[in-house]
Structure 1
């Protein structure tokens, strides 16, 4: 089948956009859907690269992509169908998440921090072409992993994938379709269609869809689509330009983005200042109140308690903000312990259930047939073969990804960096870890990619001992596969609930990942020319996490007294993760209030300014959703948050006009001189 045949297969035969849920004749993989998805994805790519280099946290933004795509489609002569909109958000997500998948927010900055005297190798700074080659080596492995995993976790096990379910519910509301049939033990209620006489609540969250118990003064959703269509663009534009204007003002007068919270002395010596950025607030709205609360609890413990303890006891004698000898570098190790234990404990039930499932399949009578002579497993699939991704494509794609990926990694890093057989082992390990990550994401809406990457680092400390470069690269390969397979599985869940073609989504994923290689690499090159990375503006905190673990596995040395605190916090958050995992799997309503270990650890990695503004966004999200959100208002808040976040990325690189008022020494110019 040629490319033209593939394209023709998914073109619509008519312009009717008033379709029913699951209508197989509706338009799906069309040129306008791909172009809109790429445009949105490029914006998300810049935004995720920006925030990822600042905080180590990126957002999938599937809900936001669907909303923005819907608004754009209203300007077209023939608006997008629901299935086309799913292709839009699938393409946008594949394009926007490449900064994490290809390691631009962690792996590549970590390689640039290598020290020849300490690590035995000089810093590695990839050229634009080498960065393209590295991205190509890891960009498609997770995409080809998704189709075979889809049938198991979505069709047979019916895992929740809350963000994917939320996006499906939102798309159904926007297109006035019947609500998707959400089955399985993890069924949740979110956006719903109701009659005027049947009031209900609408609850949205970028992380989870939770049931709202308060039922008084609730309004129906029949007018949601028209309201978003009429008011959405105006809301998105004013929020975008308000955020952009504030960002530009902050770059010209950086004191406004480094306000001392408790006096200039604490701001200068202990880094306690505040950045009143609307983009940070918008990201907090998207992250949700429970996550931002966990992050700020970590910020308080790390920066208000542990930092002074390490400083005054002489365990971290350097400047507080120094990642090598200062308190910030000292608490980094505790953050690493929390991340690892939280991720590993959260994965244990998934590993156990996966092993039990494999054992049950091996010991059960797999030859039992239905009356029609077809096995029950075969009849579980809801799509026809022409709408699925053929397994021959999957096998060839995985094989080509591993072979060409190994060759490209060898060409970029050389034989001394990581041996080809070790790269192949890294891909194999990444495939196994991706299955665990997808299952964890499907049940909890959290993809523990950081913990999975650390598992790969632990394995490669034994496979290629003493080789820091190989250790970091192997972790990056595993993280890329797990992150892509997980995020794309959320999209496939959305498509499954709304009757979209998995093959059309697969095309969108491939195109989005391919284009994002160029966009992400170019954006990263622009950032490295304009800023020091890691540096004051872009500290790239996860780069230090990658490098610190690699160094620990190589030399076994820790900063003074940090081991005791690592053990204590590791054990504590192992227990917390066990409680949170049990509560989440049993659908306990209080599960979301148990602190997230990963978010808590992120609070250690970033200075207080990054966390406080996001907490403000989280509080706004919680108050608005529980007190004021009724139908269209909840969707309106997502539009506002999207405008706030997108308004920041395009203003990067603007110079500093004045350092007036920066007496505490925290403005951009003072830091970069």
Structure 2
């Protein structure tokens, strides 16, 4: 047995050396974390940060934009004296994603607006509006925990379990096309690393059925022509979207068109926002997701909202989040999200128990587990100098937890949350991150909304009656799960393209660090120029956080909402179970089973936010149905990216104009009172 182990060890080392040699040949031995890559990634990440903050405050929905980061980074590299390698592109998009997703990870689209909604008479504490320095302290407290969690989780879910991570896999496929290298090996390797180096058992992963699947193998026979066309498509789509956004600032009715007359627009909030960015988001999200969102919009706003209003269950104005039907259907949305997220986690938890507890117990009972440990070790193909040392992880986790606990205490004080409660929040964040990352790796959906609610439920038990502590602790736990999930997609891309995990780790750190400054400054400016939540930035997820915290404290629901919550929770628990079953059976039609989270988002946002995304989803479906994914390639994704980035970047100009006191040029057509830029 010992000789057999020695031979296995020698063989695994030889295979790792061969794999590393293959990777060196692939990237030409270039350094991966370079100054040009860092600066390019930070620049792209800042654009994504403004875009995600802008749309996150509007809809509660943000995007990793990893595909777009890799694409724009490749196009930008054409101005460099020498082209970047595929591995440099991986690091570049890792930096961009770490920078661009901070608005959600640090709670700027949910947690902080929720604290600003507190009512002293009802909640026992005045609204909390953090200063710039306070927001910096809060961001620093939660910005790095998920980064230091990433290396050990990578070892588990990418190297050992080899989960699919569809978006990360699709990004790797895109990078291989752009750089004209062999497509990445996306097979599950049962033993000894890569199958081309001599594995025996190989099982293909089903093609990803997510927004990432839109990336086909583009025609790269003439890369210079393709690059010029890509630049042209990105520039014109960016310019058109930006121009339309600026026009809508001076003439607000452009983005607030009454669908069925002024009465339904003003009293029932039925307007249409023909935003090219929303259409671009719909293209990126894909037709199945946008269809689920609009089904939710129809059920919530065309059926339940009138029912609640006319039955006297929500007697206030429809748009009122306290007494109106918008606040009433919010509770049904919350029930759907929690049911969908929790049911989606059941097979993940069951699999973890079976693989990590039951099978280990059987192996310990039946024989020596040393071979199992050796098999796990054999799957790592990176050399130690390219991995993140575990001592860095240990010191980093300790520093982020202790430092984060102290920072939260300094920002919010004892009246906000006790240090011991924050510490428990970090520990819960670590546990929930593992569940969230596993769900993301298998389904391409990180159920952070449900995970945050689990944390809120727990803290309602250990620190009852404190709404501020409930929201903050939930935000701490959600931040770790959100960040670890996003970064794991990047590490999957790096694993497939043979990029250095250590270089990606450095990129995640500097991206998170810069994003603290960018996100905090942008949010502070938005908060000064606009009412948040308000007509222009309703921040719907803020009401979800505050509503659940109040429910857990008071136990009071709006009239008759409890019955509907139970009914819809049961319905979507069944739907989520069916979807999970079909996905695990490899069913190609799983994507057409409604997504509970997307369905609930249709409840949270007014119809104007969902309809334009449906147009984008229909365009995506018709385009790829007509020309095929292979021929369609990435052209439509480029145009969609330009639409999204155009509005997100030009919104900064609108923010500056608003700060300088320059308002709308004309309020013509805004008689329905739904135009964000006009006084109503």
**Could you tell me the TM-score, scaled by structure 1's length?**
0.91
1:252 is aligned to 2:250:
yes
2:36 is aligned to: 32
Local SS of the residue matching 1:375: helix
Residue 203 of structure 2 is matched in structure 1 by none
Aligned residue among 231, 234, 257 for 1:233:
231
Which residue of the other structure, out of 95, 101, 109, is the alignment partner of 2:99? 95
Which residue number in structure 1 is paired with residue 18 of structure 2? none
Match of 1:601?
Answer: 600
- Contact 2:331–2:565 (8 Å) recurs in 1: yes
SS across alignment from 1:184: strand
1:203-218 matches, cutoff 5 A: 207-209=211-213
Check conservation: 2:425, 2:455, Cα contact below 8 A: yes
Tell whether the 8 Å contact from 1:228 to 1:632 is kept in structure 2 after alignment: no
- What does 1:420-431 align with in structure 2 at a 5 Å threshold? 420-431=419-430
Give ranges in structure 1 of 5+ residues lacking alignment.
1-17, 187-202, 213-218
Residues 463 and 19 (structure 1), Cα distance of their counterparts in 2 relative to 1, 3 Å cut: closer
| Counterpart-to-counterpart distance in 2, 1:41 and 1:108 | 22
Q: 1:135 aligns with which of 136, 139, 153?
A: 139
Is the CA contact 1:173–1:224 (under 8 Å) kept in the aligned structure 2? no
Q: Please state if 1:357 is matched with 2:355.
A: yes
Cα RMSD over matched residues? 2.0
Normalized per residue, the structure richer in helix is 2
Q: 1:623 to 1:446 in 2, by over 3 A?
A: same
Mapped pair 1:613 → 2:612: yes
Structure 1 position 379, deviation (Å): 1.3
Judge which range, 100-109 or 353-362, deviates more: 353-362
The equivalences for 1:548-567 within 5 A come to 548-567=547-566
8 Å contact from structure 1 (residues 228, 636) kept in 2: no
Question: Structure 2 CA distance, aligned partners of 1:319 and 1:432?
Answer: 41
Pairwise mapping of residues 75-474 of structure 1 onto structure 2 (< 5 A)? 75-184=79-188, 207-209=211-213, 221-223=219-221, 225-359=223-357, 360-365=359-364, 367-369=368-370, 375-474=374-473
Alpha-carbon contact 2:536-2:677 (below 8 Å) kept? no
Q: CA deviation at 1:286?
A: 1.0
Shift, 1:368, TM fit: 4.6
Unaligned runs of 5+ in 2: 1-21, 191-206, 658-662
| 8 Å CA contact 2:209, 2:591 repeated in 1 | no
Residues 452-506 of structure 1 deviation map (CA, whole Å, 9 limit, x = unaligned): 0000000001010011011001110111000010000000000000000000000
CA deviation string 1:291-328 (max 9, x = no partner): 11100000000000000000001111111111111110
Cα pair 1:278 1:645 within 8 Å, conserved: yes
Change (3 A) 1:208 1:69: closer
Task: Choose the corresponding residue for 1:46, options 39, 47, 50.
Answer: 50
Counterpart Cα distance in 2 of 1:146 and 1:250: 41
> Partners in 2 of 1:239 and 1:20 — Cα distance?
37
Question: CA 1:348 to 1:617, structure 2 compared with 1: closer, same or farther past 3 Å?
Answer: same
Count residues with an aligned counterpart: 631
Partners of 1:54 and 1:122 in 2: CA distance: 24
Contact 2:465/2:553 (<8 A) preserved: yes
Please say if 1:658 is aligned against 2:666: yes
Q: What displacement does 1:90 show?
A: 0.2
What SS does the corresponding residue of 2:188 show, helix, strand or coil? Answer: coil
- Give the C-alpha shift of residue 656 in structure 1: 1.2
Which string of whole-angstrom CA distances, capped at 9 and with x for unpartnered residues, describes residues 384-409 of structure 1?
00000000000000000000000000
- In structure 2, relative to structure 1, the CA distance for the partners of 1:82 and 1:544 (3 Å cut) is same
- Work out whether residues 37 and 89 of structure 1, in 8 Å CA contact, stay in contact via their aligned partners in 2: yes
Q: Are the aligned partners of 2:27 and 2:85 in contact in 1 as well (CA < 8 Å)?
A: no
| CA distance, structure 1, for counterparts of residue 669 and residue 595 of structure 2 | 37
> What SS class does the counterpart of residue 61 from structure 2 fall into?
coil
Deviation (angstroms), 1:204 = 8.8
Question: What is the CA-CA distance between 1:87 and the residue it aligns to?
Answer: 0.5
- Name 2:15's counterpart in structure 1: none
The match for 1:526 is: 525
Q: Does the 8 Å contact 2:146/2:480 carry over to 1?
A: yes
Tell me whether 318-327 or 177-186 shows the greater mean CA deviation: 177-186
Cα separation, partners in 2 of 1:250 and 1:211, compared to 1, 3 Å: closer
Q: Is the 8 A contact 2:215 2:629 kept in 1?
A: no
Distance 2:310 2:189 in 1: 52
What CA distance in whole angstroms lies between the structure 1 residues aligned with 2:489 and 2:254? 39
Give the deviation of 1:230 after TM superposition. Answer: 1.9
- SS of equivalent residue, structure 2 residue 184: coil
Distance of aligned partners of 1:252 and 1:629 in 2 relative to their CA distance in 1, 3 Å threshold: farther
Q: Deviations over 1:340-365 (max 9, x none)?
A: 00000000111111122221234424
Task: Tell whether the 8 Å contact from 1:227 to 1:632 is kept in structure 2 after alignment.
Answer: no
Contact 1:279–1:646 (8 Å) recurs in 2: yes
Q: Which residue of 2 aligns with 1:667?
A: 675
Distance 1:92 1:484 in 2: 13
CA contact (8 A) 1:111 1:125 kept: yes
Aligned match of 2:13? none
Counterpart secondary structure, 1:432 = helix
